[in-house]
Chains A and B, each alone.
Chain A
């Protein structure tokens, strides 16, 4: 049985429908990439997976043994006014689930171990308001991982990151996926960043989700059909690249 399955799901807020007839599935151990432009309903779909948005029609089914989920929100959702150091945030997350005090007790071993795994030990005593965008995103990843999730859901984690920071971050996610056997569901507007990483893709266009195996989705025909534009998928030096045909200027070198 699939880990997560959407069958004819409509999603929206109030009477407004954002996504219609969503059919897709995520298997255990998958690296699932959900791609779409800003405002297309990616975050709504992710929130529906988390049970934070109810479906208007259809059915969202998790495996009967619902896996432990770790959620990495968009960093704008975090209010840095809260006076917390990075290690306090991780400890607080653990304490809220397992009990225990935040202050005056020995730090659980999972706190330094998780910081080491994400390579943020040097940020341990910094308060949240002193972190850069990239550092905050790593801290949020550590917070999601400290509960030892089986599924990691990430909402636009690389938004507003430069190319290098974004690639480094995605490499960490890929490493975790392989080493810790975590199922990854990642939302992004940057399709090329998922090439070579995602097994399955869901592409949102005009209120519909087109999903399938990455190999089936990343073809010129499929992408042209989804985007209603002539798209090309080519292999260059062993790397897959995607571009609009209209961008090829005849005669240009």
Chain B
């Protein structure tokens, strides 16, 4: 088994894919905890579509896809974080519009661009096995920058997300800390989407974090669980895709969602053992 793994990961394309999975998956799993807690999962679904429009624009103008993704991500978070204020349309409405516009405009742009057909496929499903060492480097840079930002400003980021009104009364700059979270989210999604596609990026964002939140009520434990789950899901998904000749991105995406499928019944089972009376009362 070990020798199989060693042989598998001796290929540079597998090493690069694993590095993007570890850095990008860990980063998105971490940010996913805040996406769930701030109840902005729909924003997390719409952002990849807007990042996709950025990538499509890059394809259209034949410039770097990464810069297209990053610009798309930043434009998306800035627009969506300010849209809905002083408007009769609620924020969810703006996010829905962005989701629809992002996905349709991206397809039209790619169809109009002179790029070869394979680009379109990479754009939607990603091509995790086609990633370069530079892509992995960018994922590492994004993960380190986000980790540093959150390490330095942890209490401000958490309390402004938890209760923005109270935070504003304390003199905290709520919009600034919101922007830190949203820009981190946009950058993380852009870096992962550029190589791994929207499906994998969104699965990494919501899957591991959901498992952490279901399994624990302690903030540090939730974050550690989410990040480790994200990294393990990348490794297991990539390994399975190689062993069983499956598409890399979708297999990793499925692996990212597997922990919640296990965690939820496991949690129910454990809490039933600990509190049998409460469970039977609930049933009654």
Interface residues of A, CB < 8 Å — how many? 33
A89-B187 Cα distance, complex, nearest whole Å: 29
| A69: interface (CB < 8 Å) | yes
| A147: interface (CB < 8 Å) | yes
| A73: interface (CB < 8 Å) | yes
Beta-carbon contact of B168 and A50 below 8 Å: yes
Which residues 119-163 of B have a CB within 8 angstroms of A?
154-156, 158-163
| A234: interface (CB < 8 Å) | no
Beta-carbon contact of B170 and A14 below 8 Å: no
**Which segment, of B198-206, B213-221, B232-240, B249-257, faces chain A?**
B213-221
What's the least CB distance linking B279 to chain A, in Å? 16
A99-B152 Cα distance, complex, nearest whole Å: 9
A78-B167 Cα distance, complex, nearest whole Å: 12
Residues of B within 8 A of A102 (CB): 154-155, 158, 219
Beta-carbon contact of B168 and A101 below 8 Å: no
Residues of A within 8 A of B169 (CB): 50-52, 69, 71, 153
| B63: interface (CB < 8 Å) | no
A89-B219 Cα distance, complex, nearest whole Å: 11
Interface residues of B, CB < 8 Å — how many? 28
Residues of A within 8 A of B171 (CB): 97
Q: What sequence of 0s and 1s flags, for each residue 46-88 of chain A, a beta carbon within 8 Å of any chain B beta carbon?
A: 0100111000000000000000010101000111011110001
B162: contacting residue among A51, A84, A129, A147, CB under 8 A: A84
Instruction: Give me the interface of A with B, judged by CB distance under 8 Å.
Output: 14, 47, 50-52, 69, 71, 73, 77-79, 81-84, 88-89, 92-93, 95-97, 99-103, 127, 129, 143-144, 147, 153
A69-B172 Cα distance, complex, nearest whole Å: 13
Residues of B within 8 A of A79 (CB): 37, 39, 162
A147-B165 Cα distance, complex, nearest whole Å: 15
**B interface SS class:** helix
Instruction: Give me the interface of B with A, judged by CB distance under 8 Å.
Output: 36-37, 39, 86, 154-156, 158-163, 165-172, 213, 216-220, 222
Beta-carbon contact of A92 and B158 below 8 Å: yes
> What are 9 A-B contacts with C-beta separation under 8 Å?
A51-B169, A71-B169, A73-B166, A81-B37, A82-B37, A83-B218, A92-B158, A97-B171, A129-B217
What's the least CB distance linking B84 to chain A, in Å? 14
Residues of A within 8 A of B160 (CB): 96
What's the least CB distance linking A120 to chain B, in Å? 17
Residues of B within 8 A of A88 (CB): 219
What's the least CB distance linking A164 to chain B, in Å? 26
Residues of B within 8 A of A147 (CB): 170
Name the CB-closest residue of B to A72.
B166
Beta-carbon contact of B170 and A93 below 8 Å: yes
B170: contacting residue among A73, A81, A96, A100, CB under 8 A: A96
Residues of B within 8 A of A129 (CB): 217
Beta-carbon contact of B213 and A83 below 8 Å: yes
Beta-carbon contact of B222 and A96 below 8 Å: no
Residues of A within 8 A of B161 (CB): 82
A144-B167 Cα distance, complex, nearest whole Å: 11
Given known contacts A84-B219, A88-B219, is B168 in contact with A52 (CB within 8 Å)? yes
A58-B223 Cα distance, complex, nearest whole Å: 48
Residues of B within 8 A of A95 (CB): 154-155
